[in-house]
Structure 1
Amino acid sequence: MALTPNKDVFITCALTGAGDTTGRSAKVPVTPRAIADAAIEAAKAGAAIAHIHVRDPKTGKAARDPALYRETVAHIRDSGVDVILNLTAGMGGDLVLGSPEAPFPVNADGTDMAGASERLVHVKELLPEICTLDCGTMNFGEGDYVMTNTPAMLRQMAGQIQALGVRPEIEIFDTGHLLLAKWLADQGLLDDPVMVQLCMGIPWGAPDDLQTLLALIGNLPAGWTFSAFSIGRNQLPYAAQAVLAGGNIRVGLEDNLWLGKGQLASNGDLVQRAVQITEAMGSRVLTPAQVRERLKLVKRW
């Protein structure tokens, strides 16, 4: 398989995520204002897209309250800084089973299962250019947490996202998830150009070795646009690897807290480093306007 390095690269910054990272770095944004400021910082550093989760300001834990999204998005839009908004729609598919001997009833602490429409309330209200669609089910960590996205749920969510005129970013955590994405496309539920995020190195999904990445890329349909990232120490090496493989970059504190050994990063730091990597490889970093044109995104604010 012949791969051509990408000469026109866009950078996504995943600002805060849903993981238990706030106790490990004070730079992980928690409040709507802090998350908005992180998006603005990332945009000024060179990110075209801000991928946004929200957190409970009191506890720092993951949340999906539409009011928190509303406040975050309002701060970003009022700032006048141009950045493409990519709101997660992954919340509401969290299943934490009981013990191995008694999986039911499920563990109420961490389980959050919601219907398709409820998972998209904030997307329908705020109409970002992009929202994520986690295209499959998988185990997370060493406990009993399962990210749950059935084919029926994915079909329903994809149809609603399409009707809103929002571009789904298809999150691929393992090889079978790509088959589900193709299945959705075959049903006419994904408009061109299809946008895919290859999420590598997350236990127990696709490992971040080169062979697995190339296998996924080699099975992407012609015309699909992809980004790729890995977590932790491999995040920044993956920025170069994604470009070499013909893709785009994702960095940010959702996936990695460090700029270097012993050096905690901000979102802006990670974007600046991704820009340096891209330009050092002879590629250019695309602006939000250029990405909107390339991906046929609709800006409604």
Structure 2
Amino acid sequence: MSNANRKVIITCAVTGSAHVPSMSEYLPLTPEDIATQAIEAAEAGAAILHLHARNPSDGRPTPSPAVYRQFVPAIAQATDAVINITTGGSTRMTLDERLAYPRLAKPEMCSLNMGSMNFSLHPIAAKISSWKYDWEKDYVEGMEDMIFRNTFRDIKNILTEFADYGTRFEFECYDVGHLYNLAHFLDLGLLKPPFFIQSVFGILGGLGPDPENMMVMRTTADRLFGRDNYHFSILGAGKHQMSLVTMGAIMGGNVRVGLEDSVYVAKGVKARTNAEQVRKIRGILEALSFEIATPADARQMLGLKGADKVTL
């Protein structure tokens, strides 16, 4: 267990691609809303902003660089938070679509899912009686028969290409096997520490939200990489968000919150903004005597190239 006085990085995932507008009226959809909520989250204490784009007309996930450019530069201008652009996009996008904006922006960080997997929220469809947009119902129900693709070759090509940009990664690991996939690429010489491992719990298709699974991921990462060579972070989906990320911090990890991961801030209470979730976890962490990492701290801890070397 790490020293209680260490600094904890808060990542905020602002909108994502899995949740649909009918799940929460507060989910940011337009470039203006995404920018506003991201900036507020940074002001509340998020050192890293994990960003997806949505079609402003109906909230559908989009890989369009033109849409990204309507909000990412505004966020970068208003805050010094680390900009982290998804390479995951959504299960409906091709790899080239998912990489379209990251290739142009060459950000300090990108997310990278460490394997192909079933990834689904389809059981939620039965709980929604009224859909705001026509595309949503088929999108959510269709997840039952969709696979998120990231083959070994896909991952190798991303790592090789983005090494030329100086971009580092939030390695999203939804299962123990994803840690071994990460170790495989380390063995190939395509990675260098420190790694930022985002352990994901509670997504159907990945590890469940059992606290014991957190210990399995932590100890496995220790064996594969050595604790000094990586930074552990926790993502708890849905109702498991706050309890799991708090436990993760106590175990020596960092935390991720945001409306991509949960639309709630408490049981039965929807989060009106991403900043609400950031403020809540920050309060919990500070009550436990943890210090919150600044963007400068995060850059130093993760070995990032710096915002001045980005073409957002």
For normalisation by structure 2, the TM-score amounts to: 0.86
Query: Could you tell me how far 1:184 is from its partner in structure 2?
Result: 1.0
Query: Could you tell me how far 1:112 is from its partner in structure 2?
Result: 2.7
**Residues 200-231 of structure 1: per-residue CA shift (max 9 Å, x gap):** 11111111212211111101111111101111
CA separation in 1, counterparts of 2:195 and 2:93?
28
- Answer yes or no: is 1:25 the counterpart of 2:24: yes
- Answer yes or no: is 1:120 the counterpart of 2:102: no
Q: Report if the CA contact (8 A) 2:76-2:83 is conserved.
A: no
Query: Could you tell me how far 1:90 is from its partner in structure 2?
Result: 0.6
Query: Could you tell me how far 1:119 is from its partner in structure 2?
Result: 3.3
CA separation in 2, counterparts of 1:140 and 1:238?
20
Q: Report if the CA contact (8 A) 1:135-1:177 is conserved.
A: yes
CA shift in 2, pair 1:182/1:52, >3 Å: same
AA paired with 2:263? Answer: L
**Secondary structure at the residue paired with 1:219?**
helix
Q: Which has the higher helix share?
A: 2
Identity %: 35
AA paired with 1:198? Answer: S
Q: 1:241 aligns with which of 247, 250, 258?
A: 247
Structure 1 residue aligned with 2:47:
48
Q: Report if the CA contact (8 A) 2:34-2:71 is conserved.
A: yes
**Secondary structure at the residue paired with 2:46?**
coil
Q: Report if the CA contact (8 A) 2:242-2:281 is conserved.
A: yes
CA separation in 1, counterparts of 2:105 and 2:195?
21
Q: Report if the CA contact (8 A) 1:9-1:249 is conserved.
A: yes
Q: Report if the CA contact (8 A) 1:56-1:62 is conserved.
A: yes
CA separation in 1, counterparts of 2:307 and 2:49?
16
**Residues 5-53 of structure 1: per-residue CA shift (max 9 Å, x gap):** 5531010000001013311212111111211111100000010000001
CA separation in 1, counterparts of 2:187 and 2:70?
37
CA separation in 2, counterparts of 1:57 and 1:18?
13
Structure 1 residue aligned with 2:80:
82
Structure 1 residue aligned with 2:127:
none
AA paired with 1:297? Answer: L
Structure 2 residue aligned with 1:224:
230
Query: Could you tell me how far 1:166 is from its partner in structure 2?
Result: 0.5
Query: Could you tell me how far 1:189 is from its partner in structure 2?
Result: 1.3
How many pairs align? 279
More deviation, 286-295/3-12: 3-12
CA separation in 2, counterparts of 1:300 and 1:277?
29
CA separation in 1, counterparts of 2:306 and 2:40?
20
Runs of 4+ in 1 over 2 A off after TM superposition: 3-7, 111-115, 118-121
**Secondary structure at the residue paired with 1:71?**
coil
CA separation in 2, counterparts of 1:114 and 1:125?
15
**Secondary structure at the residue paired with 1:259?**
strand
Structure 2 residue aligned with 1:103:
none
**Secondary structure at the residue paired with 1:161?**
helix
For normalisation by structure 1, the TM-score amounts to: 0.89
CA separation in 1, counterparts of 2:188 and 2:160?
10
**Secondary structure at the residue paired with 2:21?**
coil
Q: 2:281 aligns with which of 267, 274, 278?
A: 274
Query: Could you tell me how far 1:135 is from its partner in structure 2?
Result: 0.5
**Residues 140-192 of structure 1: per-residue CA shift (max 9 Å, x gap):** 22510111111111111111121110111111011111111111111121222
CA separation in 2, counterparts of 1:271 and 1:5?
22
Unaligned runs of 5+ in 2: 123-143
AA paired with 1:112? Answer: M
Structure 2 residue aligned with 1:164:
165
CA separation in 2, counterparts of 1:127 and 1:202?
29
**Residues 98-153 of structure 1: per-residue CA shift (max 9 Å, x gap):** xxxxxxxxxxxxx43234xx532312222221101110011122510111111111
Unaligned runs of 5+ in 1: 95-110
CA separation in 2, counterparts of 1:123 and 1:250?
21
Structure 1 residue aligned with 2:14:
15
**Secondary structure at the residue paired with 2:23?**
coil
